[in-house]
């Protein structure tokens, strides 16, 4: 039961970190795609897009994600847990996206060409490394 709680806590921390990474990536790229908007409007747009995208991801992807994440954390033991978590996190995001895009909601396949899909791949892979800088999260990774 402790492992399940710790996995849920850590995975929610991953989602929050990924949201922050997406806000930064959207804020960097939006001015290049929309030249005439004011900086203030672009900041609000990048924050709104990132929060909305990750909220949808949390609602639809998280139940599948947490089940597989807990199973893999129990049964896989790699020496470098942060790298293991990075590959599991990114791999699950891609797998669940493909599952939704080709089986559950085939009408969403066009999103695989959108910027945010690749932003989230970058965010899901890099978030465990960023979280590992926080002492509590570093301790939590060792306990997983």
Mean pLDDT of the chain: 81
**pLDDT value of position 133:** 92
Question: Is 20 exposed, middle or buried (CB count within 10 Å of its CB: 0-12, 13-18, 19+)?
Answer: middle
Q: Residues 122-133: what's their mean pLDDT? A: 92
pLDDT of 36: 47
Of 5-9, 44-48, 109-113, 126-130, the least confident:
44-48
Q: What pLDDT does residue 31 have?
A: 62
pLDDT for residue 117: 79
Contact (CB, 8 A) for 57 and 97: no
Instruction: Show me where the domains of the chain are located.
Output: 2-143
- The span from the CA of 114 to the CA of 29, in Å, is 13
Lowest mean pLDDT, pick from 8-12, 107-111, 137-141: 107-111
């Amino acid at each position: 039961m402790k492992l399940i709680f710790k996995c849920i806590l850590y995975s929610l921390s991953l989602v929050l970190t990924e949201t922050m990474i997406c806000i930064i990536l959207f804020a960097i790229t939006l001015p290049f795609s929309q030249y005439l908007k004011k900086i203030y409007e672009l900041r609000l747009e990048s924050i709104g897009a990132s929060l909305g995208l990750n909220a949808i991801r949390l609602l639809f992807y998280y139940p599948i994600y947490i089940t597989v994440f807990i199973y893999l954390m129990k049964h896989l033991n790699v020496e470098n847990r942060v790298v293991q978590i990075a590959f599991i996190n990114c791999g699950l995001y891609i797998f669940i996206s493909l599952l939704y895009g080709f089986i559950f909601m085939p009408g969403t396949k066009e999103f695989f060409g959108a910027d945010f899909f690749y932003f989230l791949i970058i965010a899901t892979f890099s978030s465990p490394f960023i979280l590992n800088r926080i002492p509590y999260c570093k301790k939590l990774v060792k306990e997983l």
